[in-house]
A = this chain, B = another copy of it.
Amino acid sequence: MQRFSQNTPARERVISTAETLFAERGYAAVTLRDIADALQMRQASLYHHVPGGKEALFVEVTERTLHRHRAGLEAAIDAAGDDLRAQLKAAAGWLLSQPVMNYGRMMQSDMPAIGIPHAEQLRKTTNDSLFVPLRRVFEGVFRQSPHRASYMAGTFLSLVEGLQNLPESFSPVPRPHMADFLIDVLLDGLNAYREV
């Protein structure tokens, strides 16, 4: 459960709590009462801060998560310099520092549950925030085959997400170490296929 300093603006607390809950369990499984309970507040009080109701709240917090992912990913990648391996390890480290973000659930369960325009909007933001930054990293390796860069980006994201889904007890090795190992394997394997 999240902690807030005593004078964190109320709206921020609502958004932040909703973000965590929605990210963990998805749109359908979280009720407004769950969010209100976590804030020790009544369900009706949420509407003062988020007049748009549940769906608007979900869209707002998901957009926020995605924009933060984009900023964090790009910053991590930039700070890692020119080395592909370092860039990917930095990206993985940053993703693992964030709350789980189940891409598959979002696409298959959450999107169908909200309005089509909202779903379309979130799909676009997801693409821009998650895929685009990582695809750029791989485009250096696969200059001639952009679709290959695309699904290497998808692969990378799946890998990291998969690590987050493994139970804590699954391995004695901490997740960032697993990520580094997998990136080494992936890049060593990729060497035979790189075009540069």
Contacts and interface: CB of A to CB of B under 8 A. Distances in A.
Interface of A: 24-29, 100, 102-105, 107-109, 112-113, 147, 150-151, 154-155, 157-159, 161-167, 170-173, 178, 182, 184-193
Nearest to A178: B151
16 contacts: A26-B28, A28-B28, A28-B29, A29-B29, A29-B109, A102-B104, A102-B109, A103-B162, A103-B165, A105-B108, A147-B171, A154-B163, A155-B162, A157-B162, A158-B165, A189-B191
A151 B154 CA distance: 19
Q: Which of A103, A154, A190, A192 has the most CB of B within 10 A?
A: A154
Contacts of A188: 188-189, 191-192
Copy number in this complex? 2
Contact of A108 (B25, B28, B147, B192): B25
A170 B151 contact: yes
Contacts of A26: 26, 28-29, 105, 108-109
Contact of A172 (B105, B112, B147, B157): B147
Contacts of A178: 151
Given A108-B24, A189-B188, A190-B189, A155 B165 contact: no
A147 to B, nearest CB: 5
Contact of A104 (B104, B147, B192): B104
A105 B24 CA distance: 9
Contact of A187 (B150, B155, B189): B189
A102 B155 CA distance: 15
Smallest CB-CB A-B distances: 4 pairs: A158-B162, A189-B189, A185-B189, A28-B29
A56 to B, nearest CB: 19
Given A25-B112, A25-B113, 16 more contacts: A25-B28, A25-B108, A25-B109, A29-B113, A100-B104, A105-B108, A107-B165, A107-B167, A147-B171, A150-B170, A154-B170, A155-B162, A157-B162, A158-B162, A186-B186, A186-B189
